[in-house]
Amino acid sequence: MARLRGHLLLVLVLAATAAAFLSAPGAHGFYLPGSYPHKYNTGDPLNVKVNSLTSIDTEIPYSYYSLPFCTPQEGVKDSAENLGELLMGDRIENSPYRFKMYTNESNVFLCRSAPLAPDTFVLLKKRIDEMYQVNLILDNLPAIRYTKKEDYFLRWTGYPVGIRVGVDYYVFNHLQFTVLVHKYEEANMARVMGTGDATDGFPSGGKGGSAGSSGWMVVGFEVVPCSIKHNPDDVKSLKMYGKYPRNIKCDPTTVSMSIKENDPIVYTYEVSFVESDIKWPSRWDAYLKMEGAKVHWFSILNSLMVIAFLAGIVFVILLRTVRRDLTRYEELDSEAQAQMNEELSGWKLVVSDVFRAPSNPMLLCVMVGDGVQILGMAVVTILFAALGFMSPASRGTLITGMLFFYLVLGILAGYAGVRVWKTIKCGDHTGWMAVSWRVACFFPGIAFLILTTLNFLLWGSQSTGAIPFSLFVILILLWFCISVPLTLVGGLLGAKAPHIEYPVRTNQIPREIPPQKYPSWLLVLGAGTLPFGTLFIELFFIMSSIWMGRVYYVFGFLFIVLLLLVIVCAEVSLVLTYMHLCVEDWKWWWKSFFSSGSVAIYIFLYSINYLVFDLKSLSGPVSATLYLGYSLFMVIAIMLATGTVGFISSFCFVHYLFSSVKAD
């Protein structure tokens, strides 16, 4: 079971990381937090680590040592992990692969496995059929593999366990490593505190040398897997890291090591070091180059321009229409206004009903509070990621940061929910404690229910993606010891804050709503198409990052798209609210929430479309259930966030509109 040290210091770690980055003395360069340059002298040991086995066919990670691979002489040990790594299913462990800096080695014998037992043989064939990848890490860099297709190269992280040819299964038992190194350039490199591997230190100089002594930095890690037929009898007397008696030629285009029941597998490797012009701050560039980059940038820019143009038109039309109505209404005297009210229909006729309390007001307040919390978490997290504070070099930092910001913003959720409750009750804060408790438990309760159900499926599959029971306990403690108290404090502040006074009085008898030509829910559902249009291009890249194993790091564009989404949601909800008021429908509270929140429906439909057409190889009901479960969790969060934006914008608009009307 992975170790859970340091989780209770989550807040201090993140705060210290930001503070140390901003105040690092003597910094001469910009390095992403969570990663720092490590100098090695020639001959220094380099330790390769292994992560979970992954597959885009099943989306269920498994431990590296669940298959018959070689184990380290000192035993399997977990590396330092954070909360985000565990939640993502990463299980980073030590491996038997050992290198020496700038020392080429070939024909290195690693181990001879035990004869493949029937169950192990079946499991290995199953993992090969499911296209599982082995993920290796050196100096915090994942192993990268290049394959040539026609006139260009494809980039992959990791290498496949094996391959099936006809009815035979072949395993990749020989690895050809290439380590790209760059000359240590500067004696006083920027010392940037990060969350890298705990075993890594930052040396001030060489072994017994001065700070300016020569050395090397790892800037690339490539692997070429080969399937080579070894004779098990040739290595009976060999020890780990001994010299294989025959010369090994690695040809990735041919396979020869077929696996058979009760036969052992012999593992070997070779490593070569190549000096590279790649500098240390640029070593992640190879991983951050996303496929279809030109399409990505063009589509995002096109979406931004179209949506900004449409939003501008809607905003101008709405302003002119409302301004004209208000001007005409205010120019009339009281008798003319009364006559106009009798003759005309429209939003002016619902002046005495527009602020009538909605049905299920407590549920609305709870959903608005949770929406404020989720939206705030998204904005702050993406902003920090865009500034480089959550780089891929720090595995799990993004998830850890999201959880941290969500917990802290509980105070804002409680404040917003209770403030809306007090406003609906016209200044009476009775029941604020119940609202605060529901805000603290509504969305986390839904998340807990979904994740627990999915976790039982992962436990049944013996996957490393399953959240350990000890981590469940930690999450519950974080929930009830940090999030709930902060939400209650926010609720108390909301109860003490003055409520928003309505500009008009509400009649005791509600006005009858005239029959409508079209059902109002049809407009509400259709309103979600415009917000969906702002993000569906970016959504494809995000989905590919999550489910296809690609690195996503264009958070700057994502932040722009998020801001644009907020603006469009606000304007769409505002327009629909105005349309409903014009047909004398004063029940705008819930409609304003779901008019922008309905974008979640289209995102869920897009998720199903992505499952059917882009994840065709996804196999098994467990994998499909996991995919749909996580998608449901995502769209509920999006619905609460976008719905909150729509509600707040509509409330401000209605309040401004009717505060400008002369009413008795």
Asked, for residue 12, whether it belongs to a domain, the answer is: no
- Which residues on neighbouring strands pair with residue 274, listed in sequence order? 180
Do 494 and 472 fall within a single domain? yes
Cβ atoms of 651 and 577 within 8 Å: the answer is no
Q: Choose the final residue of a domain: 287, 318, 336.
A: 287
What would the pLDDT profile of 285-342 be if each residue is shown by its tens digit? 877 765 555 555 666 676 677 567 767 766 776 666 666 666 666 665 555 555 555 4
Q: Choose the final residue of a domain: 272, 287, 302.
A: 287
Output the pLDDT for position 89.
Answer: 77
Token digits for 569? Answer: 């949601």
Output the pLDDT for position 17.
Answer: 35
Which helix (H) or strand (E) segment holds residue 269: the answer is strand 266-275
Cβ atoms of 118 and 261 within 8 Å: the answer is yes
Output the pLDDT for position 517.
Answer: 77
Which one, of 289, 266, 349, lies nearest residue 153 by Cα?
Answer: 289
Do 305 and 266 fall within a single domain? no
Cβ atoms of 392 and 287 within 8 Å: the answer is yes
Token digits for 240? Answer: 């780990």
Do 231 and 325 fall within a single domain? no
Asked, for residue 6, whether it belongs to a domain, the answer is: no
Its pTM stands at 0.82
158 Rama class: left (phi>0) / alpha (psi -120 to 50) / beta:
left
- Say how many domains are in the chain: 2
Do 277 and 397 fall within a single domain? no
Output the pLDDT for position 469.
Answer: 86
Q: Choose the final residue of a domain: 287, 310, 342.
A: 287
Output the pLDDT for position 26.
Answer: 34
What would the pLDDT profile of 43-71 be if each residue is shown by its tens digit? 999 999 999 999 988 889 999 999 999 99
Do 129 and 103 fall within a single domain? yes
Do 396 and 360 fall within a single domain? yes
d(CA 31, CA 599): 38
Asked, for residue 570, whether it belongs to a domain, the answer is: yes
Alpha-carbon 434 to chain mean position: 32
Output the pLDDT for position 511.
Answer: 81
| Distance from the first to the final alpha carbon of the chain | 70
Find the domain containing 297 and state its range: 293-508+527-660
CA distances from 633 to 299, 444, 450, 452, 453 (A): 27, 11, 7, 12, 12
d(CA 79, CA 76): 10
- Extract the residue ranges of the chain whose pLDDT is less than 50: 1-34, 187-212, 342-344, 663-664
Do 236 and 130 fall within a single domain? yes
Cβ atoms of 600 and 642 within 8 Å: the answer is yes
Output the pLDDT for position 164.
Answer: 94
Cβ atoms of 215 and 307 within 8 Å: the answer is no
Which one, of 240, 511, 197, 164, lies nearest residue 352 by Cα?
Answer: 511
Which one, of 372, 380, 367, lies nearest residue 445 by Cα?
Answer: 367
The helix/strand/coil state of 29 is coil
Do 277 and 303 fall within a single domain? no
Output the pLDDT for position 187.
Answer: 47
Do 423 and 568 fall within a single domain? yes
Output the pLDDT for position 32.
Answer: 44
Determine phi and psi for 163, rounding to 5 degrees. Answer: -145, 150
Do 231 and 367 fall within a single domain? no
Asked, for residue 13, whether it belongs to a domain, the answer is: no
Do 549 and 647 fall within a single domain? yes
Q: Which residue has the tokens 């696996």?
A: 259
Do 144 and 248 fall within a single domain? yes
Asked, for residue 163, whether it belongs to a domain, the answer is: yes
Output the pLDDT for position 422.
Answer: 94
Asked, for residue 82, whether it belongs to a domain, the answer is: yes
Output the pLDDT for position 346.
Answer: 67
Considering only the C-alpha atoms of the chain, give the largest distance between any 2 of them, rounded to a whole number of Å. Answer: 109
Asked, for residue 338, whether it belongs to a domain, the answer is: yes
Output the pLDDT for position 79.
Answer: 79
Which helix (H) or strand (E) segment holds residue 604: the answer is helix 599-613
Asked, for residue 228, whether it belongs to a domain, the answer is: yes
